[in-house]
Amino acid sequence: MFNRETYIGRRQQLTQKISNGIILLLGNGDSPMNYADNSYYFRQDSSFLYFFGLDFQNLAGVIDVDSGEVIIFGNDVDIEDVIWMGPQIALREKASQVGVLKTEPFKNLQDRIEKAISSGRKVHFLPPYRAENKLLLSDLLGISVSKLKAYSSVELIKSIISLRSVKEEQEISEIRKACAVGYQMHVTAMKMARAGVWEQTIAGTIEGIANSGGGMVSFPVILSQNGETLHNHDHSKTLQNGRLLLVDAGAELGSHYASDFTRTVPVSGKFTPKQREIYEIVLAANNRGRELTKPGSTYLSVHLAAAEVIASGLKAIGLMKGDVHDAVRNGAHALFMPHGLGHMLGLDVHDMEDLGQIYVGYDDEIRPVDQFGTAYLRMGRKLQPGFVITNEPGIYFIPALIEKWKAEKINTDFINFDRLADYLDFGGIRLEDDILITESGCEIIGDRIPVTPDEIEEVMR
Ligand code: GLY
Ligand code: MN
The alpha carbon of 258 and the centre of ligand 2 are apart by a number of angstroms equal to 11
Distances (CA, A) of 26 to 23, 48, 196, 276, 358: 10, 7, 47, 49, 22
The alpha carbon of 343 and the centre of ligand 2 are apart by a number of angstroms equal to 7
Residue spans of the chain under pLDDT 50? none
Question: How many of the other CB atoms lie within 10 Å of CB of 430?
Answer: 24
132-144 as b/e, with b when 16 or more CB fall inside 10 Å?
Answer: ebbebbbebbebe
The alpha carbon of 261 and the centre of ligand 2 are apart by a number of angstroms equal to 7
Strand residue runs (E) in 112-204: 123-124
Q: Name which of 205, 206, 204, 196 is nearest 268 in CA terms.
A: 196
The alpha carbon of 186 and the centre of ligand 1 are apart by a number of angstroms equal to 15
- Does residue 281 contact residue 453 with C-beta atoms inside 8 Å? no
For the Cβ of 260 lying below 6 angstroms from any atom of ligand 1, the answer is: yes
The alpha carbon of 423 and the centre of ligand 1 are apart by a number of angstroms equal to 24
Pocket test for ligand 1, best of 260, 337, 378, 435 (most atoms within 8 A of CB): 260
Ligand 1 atom closest to Cα of 390? 4
Residues 6+ apart with CB under 8 A from 45: 25, 26, 27, 28
- Does residue 103 contact residue 92 with C-beta atoms inside 8 Å? yes
Give the chain's domains with CATH numbers. Answer: 4-164 (3.40.350.10), 169-460 (3.90.230.10)
Helices and strands in the chain, H and E counts: 16, 17
- Nearest ligand to the CA of 218 is 1
Dihedral angle of Cα 164, 11, 175, 438, to the nearest 10 degrees: 50
What pLDDT was estimated at residue 246? 98
Pocket test for ligand 1, best of 248, 352, 376, 435 (most atoms within 8 A of CB): 248
Amino acid at 224: S
Q: How many residues does the chain have?
A: 461
Ligand 1 atom closest to Cα of 250? 1
The alpha carbon of 434 and the centre of ligand 1 are apart by a number of angstroms equal to 11
Q: Name which of 157, 177, 175, 159 is nearest 167 in CA terms.
A: 175
The alpha carbon of 315 and the centre of ligand 1 are apart by a number of angstroms equal to 27
Predicted model pTM: 0.97
CA 255 to centroid of chain Cα atoms:
15
pLDDT digits (tens, 9 = 90+) for 268-314: 999 999 999 999 999 999 999 999 999 999 999 999 999 999 999 99
What pLDDT was estimated at residue 256? 98
What pLDDT was estimated at residue 213? 86
DSSP 283-347: HHHHHHHHHH--TTSBHHHHHHHHHHHHHHHHHHTTSB-S-HHHHHHTTGGGGT--S-S--B-SS
How does DSSP classify residue 258?
B
For the Cβ of 434 lying below 6 angstroms from any atom of ligand 1, the answer is: no
The alpha carbon of 260 and the centre of ligand 1 are apart by a number of angstroms equal to 7
- Reduce the DSSP state of residue 256 to 3 states and report it: coil
Residues 6+ apart with CB under 8 A from 219: 249, 250, 260, 349
Ligand 1 atom closest to Cα of 350? 4
Pocket test for ligand 1, best of 206, 222, 261, 263 (most atoms within 8 A of CB): 222
For the Cβ of 248 lying below 6 angstroms from any atom of ligand 1, the answer is: yes
Ligand 1 atom closest to Cα of 339? 5
The alpha carbon of 279 and the centre of ligand 2 are apart by a number of angstroms equal to 18
Ligand 1 atom closest to Cα of 392? 4
- Nearest ligand to the CA of 353 is 1
Residue nearest to atom 2 of ligand 1 (CA): 248
- Does residue 48 contact residue 130 with C-beta atoms inside 8 Å? no
Ion ligand 2 residue ranges (Cβ < 5 Å): 260, 390
DSSP 352-396: TGGG-HHHHS--SSSPPP-STTGGG-S--SB--TT-EEEE--EEE
